[in-house]
Amino acid sequence: MVNRFLAACRKQKVDRPPVWIMRQAGRYLPEYRALREKAGSFLTLCTNPELAAEATLQPLRRFPLDAAIIFSDILLPLQALGVSFQFPDNGGPRLAQAFAGPEDWAELQAPASWESMEPVAQALRIVRQALPPEVALIGFCGAPWTLACYLLEARGSSDWTKARIAAHRWPSQLQKLLSTLAHAMGEYVAFQVAAGAQAVQVFDSWAGVLPPEQYQELVVPALERLFRSLEGLGVPRILYLGHGSHLLRTVAALPLEVVSVDWRTDLRKAARLTGKVVQGNLDPAVLFASETEVKRHTKAMLQRAPEVGYIANLGHGIWPDTPIAGVEAFLTAIQENP
């Protein structure tokens, strides 16, 4: 059987677009909530290989998805760089201490070994064993800029003022931080590929807070370093460009295969401006509409998608209280295509 996801990443023609859902394991699934309760904390769930593998597989048992994404978090590997943080119940990450200035990251470097992330490798091996060959397994990391946003802000934000100010106050030192993160994350995703990941997605969720010129100068060199380091691995490289419609031209020259775009980006334009395979981009809010409406919007999205080199997905992570019926209607509409 064909692995639709990997074929589409290579711009091969497939019978229908492959589909998976950003943040497909999570609180909208009752079985995830039960597993999370059993684990006691989100970090335990991430660092216990059996539990992380189970969380990864849960959505695959319920839905006809073409890919699994390993259950973890973008901040997890930062522990190997000596950064400590917590995930309070029902909230985003909280760092013990924000990076207040360049002296706080002067000593930061990639770890000598990724041994401390062995539970993630173990979870990848368990999941790969459990999946049929036609379902792809995706590894991931945070993009340097998005990770720097959390390091500088210490928590989630909507406008990332501290990170944007730092980028103007200490441009060269910030560039050095991004380069260090790029080097570390390149090694970390290579570690995931060695354990069975067949594609890697780099999440630049907060790319869009920067204008194109600044993204080009500050961020693109780090992304270039990260993606270039993965060249020899032979796995598709995906960049998620959150809120990034204005950055499509800027990422066109990067050595990667797939650009994942949010719900405000035109899919055809994304394909044309980047020359890459495109992934996305239904608004996660659509899944709250009636089943008829979900199907109508999904089919409209497919109409706007390129015929070859397209992977169906949401434009950002699925929300915790999303109705299962909405998810099912979304997937049915894709299966009915063309």
Active site residues: 23, 27, 36, 73, 150
Q: Which stretch binds ligand 1CP (CB under 6 A): 69-77, 98-106, 158-166, 230-238?
A: 69-77
300/163 Cα distance (integer angstroms): 37
Give me the DSSP letters along 255-280: S-SEEEE-TTS-HHHHHHHH-SEEEE
Binding test (CB under 6 A) with ligand 1CP, winner from 5, 28, 71, 215 = 71
Per CB under 6 A, 4 contacts ligand 1CP: no
Per CB under 6 A, 26 contacts ligand 1CP: yes
Per CB under 6 A, 144 contacts ligand 1CP: no
Helix (H, G, I), strand (E, B) or coil at 53: helix
Asked if omega into 313 is within 30° of 0 (cis), the reply is no
**One character per residue 154-173, x = contact with ligand 1CP (rule: CB under 6 A):** --x-----------------
Residues sharing a CB contact under 8 Å with residue 90, sequence separation 6 or more, in sequence order: none
45/41 Cα distance (integer angstroms): 6
Per CB under 6 A, 192 contacts ligand 1CP: no
Alpha-helical (H) ranges within 86-170 are 118-130, 144-153, 161-169
Binding test (CB under 6 A) with ligand 1CP, winner from 6, 19, 25, 277 = 25
- Residue 79: burial class (beta carbons within 10 Å; 0-12, 13-18, 19+): middle
Binding test (CB under 6 A) with ligand 1CP, winner from 31, 43, 62, 87 = 87
Asked if omega into 93 is within 30° of 0 (cis), the reply is no
Binding test (CB under 6 A) with ligand 1CP, winner from 216, 317, 319, 328 = 317
Per CB under 6 A, 69 contacts ligand 1CP: yes
Q: Which is nearer to ligand 1CP, 186 or 315 (CB)?
A: 315
334/279 Cα distance (integer angstroms): 14
Q: Least CB distance from residue 308 to ligand 1CP, whole Å?
A: 26
Q: Least CB distance from residue 39 to ligand 1CP, whole Å?
A: 9
- Residue 182: burial class (beta carbons within 10 Å; 0-12, 13-18, 19+): buried
Per CB under 6 A, 306 contacts ligand 1CP: no
Per CB under 6 A, 243 contacts ligand 1CP: no
Detail the DSSP E strand segments found in 59-179: 67-69, 85-86, 94-95, 136-142
Per CB under 6 A, 319 contacts ligand 1CP: no
Per CB under 6 A, 239 contacts ligand 1CP: no
Q: Return residues touching ligand 1CP (CB under 6 A).
A: 23-27, 36, 42, 69, 71-74, 87, 92-93, 140, 156, 203, 205, 242, 317
